[in-house]
């Protein structure tokens, strides 16, 4: 929720009681660059295949909308966004798109209780790119456990379970609705670490 003044803050609270974002790529530049190298290319190529399929369907409806051959030749998300996503949405190029469309610069303007959950070992976003306390508003609760990967957060003994994440998000919403501030990020992260079956 992007809020820049008091009236918008009030309007946001009328529409939304609380929010949660899980494994969000707050910094598209850092995320895109991370997905363009090493083992992460496996993930990027899978995404790219689905994006190219959608691009082909778009071209069937709107021939000549963008350079079809350049899209088919794209080998990275950066190359695809340069040819398709950026120009179709009014951005100058990939750098302009990734910079202006990132959520990180507006986290300090969030006006409703919001939980951010990202693992520090998420392959889609380096830990160094996670928002710092001074980059978010007082309404934002950051929970960045050491393990969890991308939207997985497997916990418990092998083979593990997926119970931690829904419990964490549900508890946050319950706390907000009950008028409490929510559990502290430090406590939640320690709980994740103590019960995780994933080696550090």
**Degrees (nearest 5) of the Cα angle 80, 85, 89?**
165
pLDDT of residue 15: 86
| CB distance 41 to 139 below 8 Å | no
Mean pLDDT of the 74-92 span:
96
pLDDT score recorded for residue 8: 58
Q: What value does the mean pLDDT of the chain take?
A: 86
Percentage of the chain modeled with pLDDT above 70: 84
**114: which strand partners?**
19, 140
pLDDT digits 0-9 by tens, 110-161? 999 999 999 999 999 999 999 999 999 999 999 999 999 999 999 888 888 9
Q: How many Cα neighbours within 13 Å face the side chain of 105?
A: 7
Instruction: Write a three-state SS string for the chain.
Output: CCCCCHHHHHHHHHHCCCEEEECCCCCHHHHHHHCCCHHHHHHHHHHHHHHHHHHHHHHHHCCCCCCHHHHHHCCCHHHHHHHHHHHHCCCCCHHHHHHHCCCHHHHHHCCCCEEEECCCCCCCCCHHHCCCHHHCCCCEEEECCCCCCCCCCCECCCCCECCHHHHHHHHHHHHHHCCCCCCCHHHHHHHHHHHCCCCC
- Over the stretch 22-57, which tens digit does the pLDDT of each residue have? 999 999 999 999 998 888 889 899 999 999 999 999
Which residue would you say has higher pLDDT here, 71 or 182? 71
- Greatest alpha-carbon pair distance for the chain in Å reads 55
CA–centroid distance for 14 within its chain: 25
Separation of alpha carbons 178 and 172, rounded Å: 10
Give the residue, 41 or 4, on which the prediction is more confident: 41
Spatial neighbors of 85 by CB under 8 A, at least 6 apart, are: 91, 94, 97
Tell me: pLDDT of 6 over 60.
no
What is the arithmetic mean of pLDDT over 76-90?
Answer: 96
């Amino acid at each position: 929720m992007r809020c820049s003044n008091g009236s918008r803050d009030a309007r946001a609270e009328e529409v939304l009681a609380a929010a949660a974002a899980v494994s969000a790529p707050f910094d598209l530049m850092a995320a895109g660059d991370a997905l363009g190298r090493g083992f992460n290319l496996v993930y990027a190529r899978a995404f790219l295949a689905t994006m190219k399929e959608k691009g082909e369907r778009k071209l069937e409806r709107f021939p000549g909308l963008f350079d079809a051959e350049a899209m088919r030749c794209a080998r990275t998300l950066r190359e695809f966004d340069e040819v398709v996503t950026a120009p179709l949405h009014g951005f100058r190029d990939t750098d302009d798109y990734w910079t202006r469309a990132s959520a990180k610069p507006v986290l300090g303007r969030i006006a409703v209780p919001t939980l951010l959950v990202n693992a520090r070992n998420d392959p889609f976003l380096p830990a160094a790119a996670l928002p710092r306390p001074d980059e978010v508003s007082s309404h934002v609760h950051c929970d960045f456990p050491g393990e969890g990967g991308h939207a997985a957060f497997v916990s418990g003994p092998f083979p593990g379970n997926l119970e931690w994440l829904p419990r964490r998000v549900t508890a946050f919403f319950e706390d907000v609705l009950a008028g409490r501030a929510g559990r502290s990020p430090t406590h939640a992260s320690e709980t994740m670490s103590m019960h995780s079956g994933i080696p550090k």
